[in-house]
Structure formats: structure tokens, C-alpha cells
Amino acid sequence: SQQGEEDPQALSIQEGENATMNCSYKTSINNLQWYRQNSGRGLVHLILIRSNEREKHSGRLRVTLDTSKKSSSLLITASRAADTASYFCATASRGYSTLTFGKGTMLLVSP
Amino acid sequence: DAGVIQSPRHEVTEMGQEVTLRCKPISGHDYLFWYRQTMMRGLELLIYFNNNVPIDDSGMPEDRFSAKMPNASFSTLKIQPSEPRDSAVYFCASSFSLDRGYTGELFFGEGSRLTVL
């Protein structure tokens, strides 16, 4: 069963706007990761945030983590058409070597 | 680095046939994972290996599925006999060991899209 659940399932915005995706999970984690998947391609790692971190930045990406609420958000600023993809959160639970993925958010950025 | 290499990229077969999917992980990675992706169930972990040893195969759906890793640079996922409900995209991913302080970033291949008629 999925550990992480993304919200919304789909998001449609215009170029230049910001996109925010949320992820909720159920059990204690070691870290939480976000991945992007372009249509017909494999998943690509975007950013990782550890359980003792609250916020992390990478280029136009900003990730927050609230362990008390068991939730994370991914913000993409100044979106581009090339950001069109599915975005997945994945959790690494304590004591486990595997990642559990949510079902993803489909982001469509229109020119 | 060539990344994780999977073959074939596409496979169309008839029910009852044997299917073999192949994966070459990134050199130096000591974890290898097989995932299956469908619209209905999302990404499901099937099995993973550490240093070529299967650690957890609880995600393998049935005895029709088997996976091997004969050496550090090659793994196979076999389905015999295949059924229409096995149609999905199968991903292989590799990573460094968490014991070396690496926090589990996975590197995915491009996937093998399987269609069973």
C-alpha cells in the first residue's frame, strides 16, 4: 500500500505561475524524497529532505517537511512548459532500505 | 555514466508466453530494485537486492514472477507464464548502500513497457 499520498491528483497552471504539490504519509520516516517523471520515461530524483530538516531549496524547487503533521510540500516557482510531468513523493521509513511511492500529481504547465 | 539500462523498452507478447526483462545497474551501486507501475496501483516494489542477494520479495505478486541477480552488473525479472493483468511498465532502479551514509536516492532506468495480449 502507498505510504505517501499526493494532492492534488492533477494541477493545471500557466507558465510563470507557481505550482504547489502536497504529500501526506502515515508512519515515521528517515527522509522524504520527490521525483519527477516525464511521459514515457523513468523517474528522476529531484530533492531529498531528512526528518530533522524543515525546509530545503534546489534551484526553483522548495520543499518543506512537517513531521508533526506527517506532510510535505513541493513548490516549483516560475514554472515552465518543460516542468510538465508527474511528481511523486517517496518516503524512506526508519529501519527500511526501500522507498514507498505515492500515486503522484500530474502537472500541466501551459505556455 | 550510462545510468541504469533496461531492455527491452517495449515487449508485446501473448498470454502464456515467458517474458524476461533485463537490467544493468549503475556501477558501484549495491542496491537494486524492481518496481511495477500501473495506472490503478501506481508504483509497487516487487523485489530488491543488496549485494546481489534478494532481501525482500514480498511484493512479487505470484509464483509466476521470479528475479535473479547473478552478479553486480546484471539482473533479470522473469514472468512465466504471462497473463494480460501483468501488462504494466516495469522499472529497475539502483542506489548506494544506506550503511555508507547514503540516504537512498534511487536512479531509475527508462522502464520496460510490457503488453500481454
Residues of A with CB under 8 A from a CB of B: 2, 30-31, 33, 35, 41-45, 48, 50, 88, 90, 92, 97-104
Closest in B4, B98, B109 to A97, CB measured: B98
Instruction: Look at residue B82 and tell me whether its pLDDT is greater than 70.
Output: yes
Supply the pLDDT for residue A4.
Answer: 72
| Nearest residue on chain A to B30, alpha-carbon basis | A97
Supply the pLDDT for residue B27.
Answer: 95
Report which of A86, A79, A77, A70 is spatially closest to residue A32, judged by C-alpha positions: A70
Q: Contact A45/B105, CB-based, under 8 Å?
A: yes
Instruction: Look at residue A3 and tell me whether its pLDDT is greater than 50.
Output: yes
B107 Cβ under 8 Å from any chain A Cβ = yes
Average pLDDT, chain B: 93
Instruction: Look at residue B21 and tell me whether its pLDDT is greater than 50.
Output: yes
Q: Contact A98/B48, CB-based, under 8 Å?
A: yes
pLDDT digits (tens, 9 = 90+) for A37-75: 999 999 999 999 988 999 999 999 999 999 999 999 999
B104 Cβ under 8 Å from any chain A Cβ = yes
